[in-house]
Amino acid sequence: MSAHSQILLTSSEGTEFIIDRDIADKSMLLKCMLEDIGEIGQAVPLPNVSGPILTKVIEYCTHHRDDPNFLSANDDVAADIDEWDLEYCKVDQGTLYELILAANYLDIKPLMDLTCKTVANMIKAKSPEEIRKTFNITNDFTPDEEDQDWVDEH
């Protein structure tokens, strides 16, 4: 299979996307699938990824198409985010969550690292209450639990 062959993807709404094989290979899920079963000539359904999110994911993979370190980054969670990636992540929270889930589902580790790092940066310098407010997290600790001596999990 040549690097210039194309793959057809279908989003959850049924929207079809045609991408080059080398871009599809940025997703470990797609890469392994295509290696196992070959190019089936039919669309690969992605029921967990909506059209707009798949568009964003393809945009990311296309930008990093020629990045030699794309798959070699293993645990460099401390690395700085470059400028393009910073702009890429300037989206609303819902979209950011969807991107995280899509990166997780498609197994695109660099995108996963980027989006999770973006969320981590939003958490920094915030108190627990501020974090709850920012991310709409419910405080489910009851007043009684705050006083109890919970030792079972410790």
Partner 1 sequence: MADNNFNNTKGIDNDIKDTEKKSLRDLPAEVLIHIGLALPSREFGRFLQTNKTIHSCLDSHYVWHLRFTTRFGQTILEDKLNPSLPNNSDSARLSPPLTPSSPRLPSPNSQTFHSSSNINSNNNSANTSPILQQQQQFNNHLDPVSAASSLLPSAASSPRLTPSAAPQTPPSDSSSNEGSGSDGSGNGGEGSSSSSAKRPPGKARRIDLQRTNMASKEMLINIYKQLSRMTLPAEDMMIAHMGNQFWRMITSSESKYGKLAELASVWWMDVIAVFYGVPPGRYKVQWRVKVTSDGPVVNTEFRAVLFGKHEDPNTVGERPNALTFRPTSKQEFVQHTDSQGSKVNKKPFSNLFKGFTILELPGELLVEDDYRGVFLQIRNHDDWKSGLYIDYVRLVNLDDPEQSQESLANGLHGQRVAAGKEPVDDKGEEYYPTSSSSSGPLPWFQQALGINPTAGIDPRNRLRSPQATTIEY
Binding region for partner 1 (CB under 8 A): 74-80, 86, 89-95, 97-98, 100-101, 104, 112-113, 116-128, 131-132, 134-141, 145-151, 153-154
CB of 48 to partner 1, least distance (A): 12
Q: Which is nearer to partner 1, 8 or 100 (CB)?
A: 100
CB of 110 to partner 1, least distance (A): 12
33, with CB counted inside 10 A (0-12, 13-18, 19+), is middle
Q: Which helix (H) or strand (E) holds 83?
A: helix 83-88
Q: Which is nearer to partner 1, 6 or 134 (CB)?
A: 134
Strand-pair partners of 45: 10
CB of 41 to partner 1, least distance (A): 32
Q: Which is nearer to partner 1, 18 or 123 (CB)?
A: 123
> If we measure between CA atoms, which residue out of 68, 57, 50, 56 comes closest to residue 13?
50
Close Cβ partners of 6 (under 8 Å, ≥ 6 residues apart): 18, 19, 20, 21
Q: Which helix (H) or strand (E) holds 16?
A: strand 16-20
CB of 99 to partner 1, least distance (A): 11
Q: Which is nearer to partner 1, 32 or 123 (CB)?
A: 123
